[in-house]
Structure 1
Amino acid sequence: MEGAPRAPFALRLLLLAVLPAAVWLTTGPAEPPPAPGAPKDSIRINVTTLKDGGEASREQVILNITYESGQVYVNDLPVNSGVTRISCQTLIVKNENLGNLEEKEYFGIVTVRILVHEWPMTSGSSLQLIVIQEEVVEIDGKQAQQKDVTEIDILVKNQGVIRHTNYTLPLEESMLYSISRDNDVLFTLPNLSKKESVSSLQTTSQYPIRSVETTVEGEALPGKLPETPLRAEPPFPYKVMCQWMERFRKDLCRFWSSVCPVFFMFLNVMVVGNIGAAVVITILKVLFPVCEYKNSSVG
């Protein structure tokens, strides 16, 4: 009788020892806390720049990209469809001293290329997919190199967000990489936010932007990354194929939207006509079964 209460007590001790391990296995290691100044819907872009001494520095650029009421915002700056180049102040995190979060964060001026592309999912429907890609060009006047692109896919219906997904892909495989920088639209008012009047927005449309490119064989110059091209020209057949497929898709949608109603109308007329003709012929054969025989005998 004295040993009876010991079994539940031993079981409780065993559960207390096993539960923390089970919780740790199911939850996994704790994720690093986000930067205190970073917005909730922000993305981190890993880039590499050069210090004054020529040493490479790895940094993370934090951008807040949102979609509200049919408009895409980057750090509260409105961005239209196409490729827009903007310069704005944002939070930058250095990856050198990971022990102290306060010392590795600072606000800097970054120049970013933003691609916004709208894909209509079905013809005549308000459902569309908005694709957003970004490429950091400069950080505080220093050229930056970026390997991966964070693509944001937003599924929208009637200007309402249905699904919001992010994933990473190599820069060379992105749509933004295949578009020439000479056609970028320069955003000229970095202080304008979405809270201000949209009518006061002033941009220079299709402003030509020329940039100096480095080559693999070229020597490292001050302010440039050594032995690595900042940007290589995309393969010409790939670019032409993408443009051709885009035009083909639009032409095919336009063709089917115009041909389908006519086709079904013609099919309806043919079916109704054949059925009506068969009914008329059947009625005539029932009413005049020997008419053809009399005509042949008279002849």
Structure 2
Amino acid sequence: QEAMRVNVTMLKTSGEVHRGQVVFNITYANGQVYLNDFPMKSGVAHVTCQTVILENLDGLPNQQRLGTVSVRIMVHEWPLASSSDLQLIVVQEEVTEIDGKQVQQEEVTEIDILVKEFRVLRHSNYTVPLKESMLYSIPRDNDMLFTLPNLSGKDIQDPLQTTSQYLIQQAETTVDEETLPGKLPETPLRIEPPSSYKVV
């Protein structure tokens, strides 16, 4: 488990600018990346969730509170060699809002996880300027949108999965065929097996 701390600049209602940190827990287990215990898919997601925010309030450093945060998060997987199961998983994030107010972020925290057969060999994190990050270069139009419940996401079914199940159920619904006079239905008629077999 890796705590990802993102430095952001916030605007108070008084118009005063102050800095804070948004804290996310990034976990990798059994081939799955989790953000605050919620499973993330490969690609870019725009997630709204509750998480810990550290602020310098009233002259006191690192005052901790819960806030509702909107964040773009990218999970990218690279196979490092075709002959092995070695894989590099890269996670980047950009916080866009805290409690409905826009925030500014100058640097992206990147977490790199080197994995072989679902085992973490090593992991590291570092910061890159937002405008030089891979996440910044990806258009926002295709972001997957999620609002995470304010509890552990592992107990909740993946919203994408439920949608695909619904679509499959819809596709499997059949309509009774109407046969024209003198035309056999296209569905083959079922022949009942004989009740007993005669051995010759």
TM-score category of the 2 structures, normalised to the smaller one: 0.7 to 0.9
Q: CA RMSD in A?
A: 2.0
The alignment partner of 1:52 has SS state of coil
Change in 2 beyond 3 A, CA 1:95/1:140: same
The correspondence for 2:140, drawn from 164, 167, 181, is: 181
Change in 2 beyond 3 A, CA 1:192/1:106: closer
- Counterpart position of 1:149: 108
Asked whether the 8 Å contact 2:50–2:150 carries over to 1, the reply is no
Which amino acid in structure 2 is aligned with residue 179 of structure 1? I
Asked whether the 8 Å contact 2:55–2:64 carries over to 1, the reply is yes
| Whole-Å separation in 1 of the counterparts to 2:138 and 2:82 | 26
The alignment partner of 1:145 has SS state of coil
Q: Kindly tell me the number of residue pairs found equivalent between the two proteins.
A: 162
Asked whether the 8 Å contact 1:77–1:190 carries over to 2, the reply is no
Question: In the alignment, is residue 55 of structure 1 matched against residue 16 of structure 2?
Answer: yes
- Counterpart position of 1:220: none
Structure 2: which 5+ residue stretches go unaligned? 164-200
Shift of 1:195: 3.2
Question: In the alignment, is residue 166 of structure 1 matched against residue 119 of structure 2?
Answer: no
- Counterpart position of 2:77: 118
Which amino acid in structure 2 is aligned with residue 90 of structure 1? T
User: Which has the larger share of strand?
Assistant: 2
Deviations, residues 84-124 of structure 1 (Å, cap 9, x unaligned): 111111110113456455xx211100011110000110013
Question: In the alignment, is residue 94 of structure 1 matched against residue 51 of structure 2?
Answer: no
Q: Find runs of 4+ consecutive structure 1 residues off by over 2 angstroms.
A: 95-101, 188-195
Question: In the alignment, is residue 76 of structure 1 matched against residue 33 of structure 2?
Answer: no
Say which structure, 1 or 2, has more relative contact order (CA 8 Å, 6+ apart).
2
Structure 1 or 2, whichever has the larger Rg, is 1
Within 5 Å, give how 1:212-291 maps onto structure 2. Answer: none
Which amino acid in structure 1 is aligned with residue 159 of structure 2? Q
Structure 1: which 5+ residue stretches go unaligned? 1-39, 206-299
Change in 2 beyond 3 A, CA 1:100/1:188: closer
- Counterpart position of 1:43: 4
| TM-score normalised according to structure 1 size | 0.51
Which amino acid in structure 2 is aligned with residue 67 of structure 1? Y
Shift of 1:181: 1.2
Shift of 1:54: 1.5
Deviations, residues 168-222 of structure 1 (Å, cap 9, x unaligned): 111111000001111110014434634315xx221499xxxxxxxxxxxxxxxxx
Question: In the alignment, is residue 201 of structure 1 matched against residue 158 of structure 2?
Answer: yes
| TM-score normalised according to structure 2 size | 0.75
Asked whether the 8 Å contact 2:45–2:146 carries over to 1, the reply is yes
The alignment partner of 2:23 has SS state of strand
Shift of 1:52: 1.2
Change in 2 beyond 3 A, CA 1:203/1:189: farther
Asked whether the 8 Å contact 1:188–1:203 carries over to 2, the reply is no
Which amino acid in structure 2 is aligned with residue 201 of structure 1? D
